[in-house]
Amino acid sequence: MSSKILLLLAVVPVIVGFIFVNYLDSDPLESKILPTYTTIGMGGNNAEIILTKTSAIVEQNRELEKRVERIEEEKVTQASEFAEQYSLLQARVAEIEKLNNQYSSLLEETIGEKENLEAQLETQTAPPTDEQLEKVTQLQSQINELETKLSQLESNQTQTQDLIDEFTGFEQSIPKRRQPQIPTIKLTEEEITWTFIDSRGNKYSFSRPSDDFFDDVIRLPPPQDTITITTNTGTHEVRDLTKFVVGSMPEGMNELYQNTESDAEFIFEVWYIVSQFHVNSFEMKTDPKKPLDTFTKGEGDNEDLAILLADMIRSTEAGKNWEIKFVYFDSNNLSNPSEINHVSVLVNNEETTWLIEPTAKTVEEAFKSRDRIRGNIYTVE
């Protein structure tokens, strides 16, 4: 295996065991659209962001969450009942097999005894006694009885196995939590191909030459620009995430955009894809990654996923004309920040503004306790 492929394998971790609940898979589009926001400038980069349609969205989210809770409760109850019935049926099969072995052995012995007695009667010179004839009759009766029992056991075994098969089918139909659908990669010496899935199960793929990927993502250092933000506790220096957004995935994202019916649906699909990624940290860290690096790994910190969201949107022809901004804020104090520990993505297509929470796994998580945010906004150029 070449050194390039070995290096890429070192970059791409194997992620297992992370299970997230997707609340929105079977809901109509109007329930999927992310809430919209209005922005009030407060001088400089400071702004207050207010959620529009708050009550309606929160109520929709509560209903979605309740529905999923009911499904989960029903799943647990059904699984418990099925497990109990399944165990009883398996015990019944085991008992049938045990009886079948006993009867088969007894039948074999009885047939042998009868055959021996009949052979003895054929060779003896004296006529058979009444006692010997009665014994032959008894043995034949026992043989008939055992054959009947074996036939009944076979029928019972077939019926029980049919029930087990039915229960297995029922168990498979119980709603289950879906494994996260992170992008997959296929790599060769010449090319790397990424495949990802939207909320409806549609697959998309795009490729880049291996050398370009290694130059852009691995060999070249990430941007080191910083910005200074002032809160009520002083100044804070953080990385300028706008410099990481370059539109890394035009082929895949344009295809995704063309497969949606509106800008709002596209925004939802981008959020959905990123929501499948594993979150390493819900707070900002000091070492943001390039978007294609995060997309390849299928995991990232808060700032990594925010960069990825913005880059996926900027990768489209439509997104090049939209305002894409990063909102830096204090997730522990939304209205009066004392530190800068979190970042979200604000997108405006000239008609609607969306605030996208990059670490959210459901709409409820994305906008819970965020009806009003005071933060600092920086625009992607």
**What pLDDT, on a 0 to 100 scale, did the predictor assign at position 271?**
92
Is the pLDDT assigned to residue 161 strictly greater than 80? no
Query: Tokens for 320?
Result: 């090049």
Phi, psi of 54, deg, nearest 5? -60, -55
Residue 239 is inside which H or E element, if any?
strand 234-239
Query: How much is the average pLDDT of 187-203?
Result: 91
pTM score, two decimals? 0.63
Cα four-point dihedral sign 237, 341, 23, 372? negative
pLDDT for residue 308: 98
Residue 56: predicted pLDDT: 43
Instruction: Provide φ and ψ at 71, rounded to 5°.
Output: -60, -45
Q: Is the pLDDT of residue 109 over 80?
A: yes
Q: Beta strand pairing status for 372-379 and 226-231?
A: unpaired
Q: Is the pLDDT of residue 289 over 90?
A: yes
Considering only residues 69 and 313, tell me which one the structure prediction assigns the higher pLDDT. 313
Residue position matching structure tokens 């002032």:
230
C-alpha pair distances (Å), 238 with each of 20, 123, 234, 299, 342:
30, 108, 13, 21, 11
Decide if 93 contacts 161 (C-beta within 8 A): yes
Most confident range, picked from 100-114, 122-136, 149-163, 309-323? 309-323
- Predicted confidence (pLDDT) per residue in 234-257, tens digit: 999 999 999 999 999 999 999 999
Residue 170, burial from CB neighbour count under 10 angstroms (0-12, 13-18, 19+):
middle
Lowest pLDDT segment from 81-85, 355-359, 377-381: 81-85
Q: What is the pLDDT of residue 62?
A: 55
- Give the residue among 308, 335, 265, 259 at the shortest CA–CA distance from 47: 335
Looking at residue 114, its pLDDT comes to 81
Q: How confident is the model at residue 8 (pLDDT cuts 50, 70, 90)?
A: very low
Confidence of residue 88 (pLDDT cuts 50, 70, 90): confident
Residue 84 tokens read as 């109990």
